[in-house]
Amino acid sequence: MESQVRGGTRWKRFAVVMVPSVLATAAVGVGLAQGALAASFSVSGQEFKVKAGHLEGWGFAQYGGMDEGYASVAGDKTKMVQRPVAISSFKRAEITEMCQSVKTTIPVINKTIYLRLDAGPNENRKVEAKNLYIDVAQLDADATFEDIDIGVAVRDQSRGPAVKEDGTSLPGGFAQQARKANLYNVEQTAWATSAGTFKLNGLKMRLGTDSKMECF
């Protein structure tokens, strides 16, 4: 789950206050086309699923960006494409009941293989992360934010981890930030995740062909 990234989002039950950011970072094309790149590497052409009972994060920031990665075309060929993401970042986060799954189809044997990771089984053995970035394509959760600011310029966000600086950044782009965020019953689809430190207490990994191995 480690890589150099930033996180994204399309909302369902997520807090109503987050709606303006979706309109600003997802519907407004220029905000995404010129936003800070979320990943400093090429992401794979596969999304993965992450589920969590509770994510408690301190130093939250979110803004728009683009991930560049591979996409399948005719046959076994691939091409590079750009995907819009909403970059969710936390200076520090603790996660309980975390599940991550990804499915891969292997053409040679015509089989779909599922990889599943579970960690942070309870309050005493949480997943711990520092400088966490998530490139999310979709997120469903029940969320509460403390001391939230909506409409901050990307370059002026001061509560989340540093925004990557590069030639495509949009310093005046739309961002939001909060001192603290609590997300419950999290179900998200993401392109990439990275952290300065990622401590996976109670880690379990499984491979199999049963679709029930997916987190949701």
Strand partners, 119: 98
Beta-carbon contacts of residue 187 (< 8 Å; ≥ 6 apart): 49, 50, 51, 139, 140, 141, 215, 216
Structure confidence by residue, pLDDT tens digits, 5-62: 343 343 333 333 333 333 333 333 333 444 455 667 888 888 999 999 999 999 999 9
Quick check: 76 pLDDT over 80?
Answer: no
Structure confidence by residue, pLDDT tens digits, 166-198: 544 456 788 999 999 999 999 999 999 999 999
pLDDT at 52: 98
CB 194 within 8 A of CB 43: no
The pTM of the full predicted model, rounded to 2 decimals, is 0.80
**Between 212 and 14, the higher pLDDT residue:** 212
DSSP 3-state of 183: strand
Percent of the chain topping pLDDT 90: 56
Q: How many CB atoms sit inside 10 A of residue 169's CB?
A: 18
pLDDT at 12: 37
pLDDT at 16: 34
Average pLDDT on 143-164 reads: 92
pLDDT at 23: 37
- Range with the lowest mean pLDDT among 13-17, 107-111, 161-165? 13-17
Percent of the chain topping pLDDT 70: 77
In whole angstroms, what is the distance from residue 215 CA to residue 208 CA? 13
CB 12 within 8 A of CB 170: no
Using alpha carbons, select from 70, 51, 210, 57 the residue that is nearest to residue 120. 51
Domain boundaries along the sequence of the chain: 16-213
